[in-house]
Amino acid sequence: MDHTHGNPADRPGRLAVGLVGAGRAGSVLAAALARAGHRTVAASAVSSDSLDRAARRLPGTPIVPPDSVVAAADLALLAVPDDALEPLVTGLAEVGAFRPGQLVLHISGAHGLEALDPATRAGALPLALHPIMTFTGRDEDESRLAGVAWGVTTPDELRPVGEALVLEMGGEPLWIADEQRPLYHAALVVAANHLVTLINDAADLLRAAGVERPGLALAPLAGAALDNALRSGDAALTGPVSRGDAGTVAGHLDALRGRQPSAVAGYLAMARRTADRAIAAGRLDAASAEGLLDVLGVDSV
């Protein structure tokens, strides 16, 4: 696809895009394709929030049922929840919505090409393109796409097409083999969803300790820890677990059991995993680990 200057709509290979699911992610990605010069010809939306997103991000786009969206599109963008994807594709195939040569793209990180098999059997060209970004529904979602990595999974002959679409949306393609999609997605869930839970648990604990604005305390600390981890791996580990400071960890557990018992299981799980990594990295030796592992309820090394 051409990246020459000028009006993006004048570039060769512009596509008629149909969006199935004007949710937080789908509406942003369809708008990104429109900025690249592709034409959004139809969208499906049911909830009031989805209808509002379509009106704001894809003004003038007809709102029609999913089968009509796909029938109108050269590129059918399927942006529905993971569990809804396979039933959607199956249902659209049953009513003959797909056609030979049509690009069918889903944005689920958890699914690979198998979810598009009914469309592929109808002659459509399958693409699994997943932006490695979380979408909140706020306006800044669109600007956050710039420079984001995308997990790209396609048949070999379609790899240039998938990578070109990602580049047009301002992203960086990251090739993921089809059979590796579940592991790839699990990694992202640990990095994003679990991180949100950890930060919110920490904020709750600070509030319980009398800190009214925990975000002010946590932002510099968490930001530095993230940066250090990405730069240095397990060498970035600090704190009582990596030092084998069993007394401090025991004090934490006592405090949690007394004031915030719902946080005990999470603390234990993460402390045990931190100890595993510290031992494997040689940052915590067996002698120092013995008392700590006893506090954590783990057999000594």
The tens digit of pLDDT for each residue in 186-235 reads 999 999 999 999 999 999 999 999 999 999 999 999 999 999 999 999 99
**What average pLDDT does this structure show over 165-191?**
97
**What average pLDDT does this structure show over 263-284?**
95
Residue 3 pLDDT greater than 50, yes or no: no
Judge whether 124 and 100 are in contact, CB under 8 Å: yes
22: which 2 tokens? Answer: 């004007």
Model pTM above 0.85: yes
> What's the pLDDT at 2?
44
**What average pLDDT does this structure show over 242-262?**
96
> What's the pLDDT at 286?
85
**What average pLDDT does this structure show over 272-285?**
94
**What average pLDDT does this structure show over 43-64?**
94
**What average pLDDT does this structure show over 139-155?**
91
**What average pLDDT does this structure show over 84-91?**
98
Burial 5-44 (b: 16+ CB within 10 A, else e): eeebeebeebbebbbbbbbbbbbbbbbbbbebbbbbbbbb
